[in-house]
Amino acid sequence: MKCSTLKSLLHDEIWQLPTLSTPLLERLNQLHDITLMLHSNGIMSSRTVSQLSLTKLDSILTVPEAGISFQPKTLDTLSLQSGTCCHRDFSIELRHPSSPEALSIAFDDSPTNKNVLSTLVSTVTQSTPISQFPCIQDRYAPCCPCCAGKRDDIRRNSKLHPLFHIISQCTFPQEVQIKHSGLSTHSLQASSILSFSHHWGHLYLHSPEAQFAIDMTQVYNLRAQITTSENLHQSELIAYNAYGKEILSLSVGGTEHFYLWSRLLTRPAVN
């Protein structure tokens, strides 16, 4: 099947694949120039690697160079999709059946990836119209009317959320550790944040190594603390969802940011 034909079909459909077996895993590790995108509870991290290297350790699969790990048995929805959201030709998505989390492996129809793509197409079990395939956002925690109103306000004006003011007034050091997790997925990456932007309630952190997006409507509470590891102090900012579960943390060396964050958290948001 020609690449143009396949891209046209996947513009309107999602193609279901069998579970992530060992032979399929070996095939995926032959992919080159990959963009890995991990979604969990309204947080997204994206990083490009030269070659996929999924490594199995007990029941966990890891991508060491991208700081990603996940439990493949619980990400039981595997599909082939259009890769337009990653600015790529195609994407393989592993999705949790109920939690708002998914791992996307996006790639182009390059000569080195053609054989893998042919294998994927030959194993398709069924196709589903995109309109019938639920979005990750459909699995967000349900809102009460009060919270729904606040969520809509943040969509219209990102500056209403305290996280916006914390990020906008920070001068980050060379390295920031960014961690986000779901029930079955985990990402821990060290990046240098050079700039940020915002749109429709989302906060975007830009780095030469990776990109991060935070849906601020899913951040219901923030807490700053000082942690100590190997006699070194770190400032940590932790974000919680509607269930009181930690969904994101930002860590930087030293205590300076802790005092800044604590001060900003006591201020009301400004319109």
Measure the CA dihedral 7/11/15/20, to 10°: 70
Q: What is the pLDDT of residues 243-258, one digit of tens each?
A: 999 999 999 999 999 9
User: How many residues does this entry show for the chain?
Assistant: 271
Q: What is the pLDDT of residues 37-54, one digit of tens each?
A: 999 999 999 999 999 999
| Residues 53/32, Cβ–Cβ less than 8 Å | no
Residue 239 has pLDDT above 50, yes or no: yes
| Residues 206/195, Cβ–Cβ less than 8 Å | yes
Look over the chain and give the mean of its residue pLDDT values, rounded to a whole number: 91
Name the residue with tokens 């100590």: 228
What is this structure's pTM?
0.94
Please give the CATH number for the structural domain made up of 142-265.
Answer: 3.40.1570.10
- Spatial neighbors of 205 by CB under 8 A, at least 6 apart, are 167, 178, 191, 193, 196, 211, 212, 213, 214
User: Which three-class secondary structure state does DSSP give residue 149?
Assistant: helix
Indicate if 142-265 has the same CATH topology as 3-138: yes
Helix (H) / strand (E) element for 199: namely strand 195-199
Residue 271 has pLDDT above 60, yes or no: no
Tell me which architecture the domain covering 3-138 has in CATH: 3-Layer(aba) Sandwich (3.40)
Domain ranges for the chain, please list them: 3-138, 142-265
Helix (H) / strand (E) element for 193: namely none
